[in-house]
Amino acid sequence: MAIQVFGFKNALGLLRDVRFWRIVGQLFFVLFLVWLGTTLWHNLTLNLQKAGIQIGLNFIQSQASFDIGERIITYSPTDSFGRALFVGFVNTLRVTGIGMVLATLLGLVIGLARLSDNWLIEQLAKLYVEVFRNTPLLLQLFFWYFAGFAKLPSIDSNTPPSSLFYLTNRGLALTWVSATAATGIWIGLLTLATLIAIGLWQWRRWLRIERGVASRTWLWAGGAIGLGIILAFAITRASPFEWNVPRLNATELEGGLQISPEFTSLLLGVTFFIASFIAEIVRAGIQSVPKGQWEAAKSLGLKPGVMLSKVILPQALRVIIPPLTSQYLNLAKGTSLAIAIGYPDIYFVANTIFNQTGRVVEVMLILMASYLGVNLIISLIMNLVNYSFQIKER
Amino acid sequence: MSLDLAPITDSPPVSTSLTPWNWARKRLFNTWYNIILTIAALLAIGLGLKGFLVWATTQAQWAVVSNNLKLFVAGRFPDPLLWRLWIILGVIIGLSGLTWGKLQAKERLWTRDRLLIAAGIAVAIGLIPISFASRLISGGLLLLLLVAFWLGRLLPSRFNRWLAVAWALSFPLVFWLLRGGFGLQEVQTTDWSGLLLTLLGAVIGIAFAFPLGVLLALGRQSTLPIVRLFSTLFIEVMRGLPLIGVLFIGLVMLPLLLPPEWGQPDQLLRGLVGLILFSAAYIAEVVRGGLQSVPRGQLEAARALGLNPLLVIGLILLPQALRTVIPALVGEFVSLFKETTLLSVFGLIELLGISASILANPDYVGRYVEVYLFAGGLYWIFCYVMSIASQRLENSLGVDQR
């Protein structure tokens, strides 16, 4: 009966106890990690000391003294490293955001075409998916950039002095709108008219459902917006915007919306690549909707468009959204290949800073934080979208 | 009361095959918008194909491809030592043929597809502009593949284990032939380039990333909190970063993390470390899916039998989990194969890198379309074949039937 705390019997019992080994094992794992961490950190500081590089984030405020070719927020070489990184981050967000929209639209079209009853369209969509999915993204970027834009005509004496759009080896110049003094009033009035139109729409719909009155929702809502337009024109007596047409000035294109070949190649590359994956996700999602749902929708006499938008897609989206989110994350990560064609995204800027200062640890941490930020933004939005499409039970 | 039921008569199944005319009416011209779509698509295909053919036969200068075939495939591997690459190819083809034959032992020997593919390869060997000797060896290798396939079907199943041993032994053999030493002339790793480096990177990447990925997946599913935390953190950080960032860690940060007296490790090695860490995280997530698909009862039954945790994992959990995720693993391999292109950003000259250096040659200035079409075609063939193989595998394993 005596409890032998340090006795042979209990020690053996301890050794045979899985719980004991679990704790010991984890202890050793922690010790190993601590040893690994301190050794690596020691090596790192030693190596950086030898190279004469300090560690610390205060360098962010010193002057960057390199230029960034493409930016949508103001930046000059006299600005700080931090500002340069922010310019890169905004550039990454820009190409990611536009790419997400375009890739979704293209993916949806190709995915639907994959299910078309037209054999030729189905085969073309399949060809698209197989070609773009089975070649590396970097190769596609090179193709758009070197075999696409570099082969376009250069600006020379044959270039027309003014044109609605230019497609040259220096990029794309489009006619765009530019704001005038009247733009503010137009936007304000149209926003107001839209809000009223939505209210009227809801009211007419409520009347139809509750009282059985002919609703004419389109007429009411359209009337409100039409009135808004007439009012805005009466007040300002001017068009809401001016067309800004690109034109040739000596050897440079001016005005309009100028899009660089780097940005366009990157955008085309990630859009076409990710769209091929999205197309397969859309196809799988639509095929996951039971056949009975199609038949029920058809037997109710719904038109193809209504059937797709009201019956099939809402159900398919529940299957589509989770893998779609991971494709969006892939797209955001894919934009980091920008460095290969010289578009100044966050990785490009971080790499330039590393080459100038040798601050490897800080650059790595900044990169991790930026991509974590982009991923979090995308995941957050997509989780909200996902939530709104979940089955809502009463 | 009795029911009068009409006697069931045997009638032939309704024929579902359509005449070409009816097929076209049903699949191409059934509605007005399909008629428009079909005509528009035909026009687009016609114009696109015509434009491409005109370009390919008149403007394109394919000399940039045909003169540099060796560079594309074997990179800067020294010319006098090319026989070693042929031997490697022979070993791999022989073993693949045997394995393939074993896997399909129960099926017919000569299906239409197989004959067509073999004939296609034979014609390709006859057409591509290579020396007569190379053509002869290539033909011999095709023959070797077919003979090995035939032999593999005949091999009794007790040779399965030997086949696995042969595969395991082939790795050091291939490495020896590539690197030299032990009586062979040495080849620098910087001379491993072109398609050779692409394939090497993908195979080494998957060979090391797979065990690491399995460990990480087990760690993430583990009941040990510290191990789970570490694995989850590692996987999520790796998956959150773009590959180019992970390669940056491998190529730029790794030398700084090692003791100063070690100097700079081999550049290829550092690149591969980045690639392996990155793919391991993705493989871990795939394997985790497999682990979660194993019914709980299997584990409880194993524990009830008194197996210790290691045996539960090794004998019960992993065999069932890995079987279900083989197709997804092939998918990971395909993406790893495509992602080796990023090594070229860091100066490792794989297929895309060698394309860039060929384009830098003043003789071939501006021949971007030809070179990238050719390189893209090579990537496409490998990825497409692997994805087809993955689908076949999925069917033969009956993954979705269980």
CB contact (8 A) between residue B379 and residue A146 = no
Please state, in angstroms and rounded to a whole number, the distance separating the CA atoms of residues B82 and B72. 14
CB contact (8 A) between residue A367 and residue B224 = no
Residue B233 amino acid letter: L
pLDDT number for residue A1:
44
B243 neighbourhood in chain A, CB within 8 Å: 333, 336
CB contact (8 A) between residue A136 and residue B352 = yes
Q: Tens digits of per-residue pLDDT, B280-296?
A: 999 999 999 999 888 98
Test the A interface: residue of B367, B372, B381, B388 with most A CBs within 10 Å? B372
pLDDT number for residue A54:
81
Please state, in angstroms and rounded to a whole number, the distance separating the CA atoms of residues A179 and A241. 5
Region for residue A212 given its phi and psi (left: phi exceeds 0; alpha: psi -120 to 50; beta: otherwise): left
- Quick one: angle between helices A119-133 and A261-287, nearest 10? 120
CB contact (8 A) between residue A47 and residue B230 = no
Q: Is A221 exposed, middle or buried (0-12, 13-18, 19+ CB in 10 A)?
A: buried
Write out chain A's pLDDT in tens, 394 residues: 444 555 556 677 777 777 888 889 899 999 999 999 999 999 988 888 888 888 887 888 888 888 888 888 888 888 889 999 999 999 999 999 999 999 999 999 999 999 888 899 999 999 999 999 999 999 999 999 988 887 788 877 777 777 777 888 888 888 888 888 788 888 888 999 999 999 999 999 898 888 888 878 888 889 999 998 888 888 888 787 888 888 887 777 777 788 888 999 999 999 999 999 999 999 999 999 999 999 999 999 998 889 988 898 888 998 899 899 999 999 999 999 999 998 999 999 999 999 888 888 888 999 999 999 999 999 999 989 888 887 776 6
pLDDT number for residue B402:
46
Please state, in angstroms and rounded to a whole number, the distance separating the CA atoms of residues B402 and B324. 9
Please state, in angstroms and rounded to a whole number, the distance separating the CA atoms of residues A278 and A377. 20
Calculate mean pLDDT across residues B211-227.
92
Region for residue B193 given its phi and psi (left: phi exceeds 0; alpha: psi -120 to 50; beta: otherwise): beta
Q: How far is CA A141 from the centre of its chain?
A: 17
Structure tokens at B340: 């080796």
Q: Which of B42, B245, B338 has the CB atom closest to A120's CB atom?
A: B42
What's the Cα-to-Cα distance from A39 to each of A16, A49, A92, B231, B257, rounded to whole Å?
34, 15, 35, 20, 8
Q: Just give the CATH number of B189-376.
A: 1.10.3720.10
CB contact (8 A) between residue B249 and residue A18 = no
A44 neighbourhood in chain B, CB within 8 Å: 256-257
CB contact (8 A) between residue A47 and residue B255 = yes
| Count of A-B CB contacts under 8 Å | 145
DSSP per-residue letters across B48-113:
HHHHHHHIIIII--THHHHTTHHHHHHTT--GGGHHHHHHHHHHHHHHHHHHHHHHTTTS-S--HH
Q: How confident is the model at residue B231 (pLDDT cuts 50, 70, 90)?
A: very high
CB contact (8 A) between residue B372 and residue A142 = yes
Calculate mean pLDDT across residues B100-112.
76
Q: Which of B30, B37, B226 has the CB atom closest to A121's CB atom?
A: B37
Q: Which of A43, A136, A339 has the CB atom closest to B257's CB atom?
A: A43
Please state, in angstroms and rounded to a whole number, the distance separating the CA atoms of residues B243 and A371. 12
CB contact (8 A) between residue B241 and residue A143 = no
Q: Which of A30, A47, A368 has the CB atom closest to B241's CB atom?
A: A368
CB contact (8 A) between residue B368 and residue A354 = no
Smallest CA–CA distance from B384 into chain A, residue: A134
CA distance B319 to chain A (A): 24
CB atoms within 10 A of CB A33: 12
Task: Give the three-state DSSP class for A250.
Answer: coil
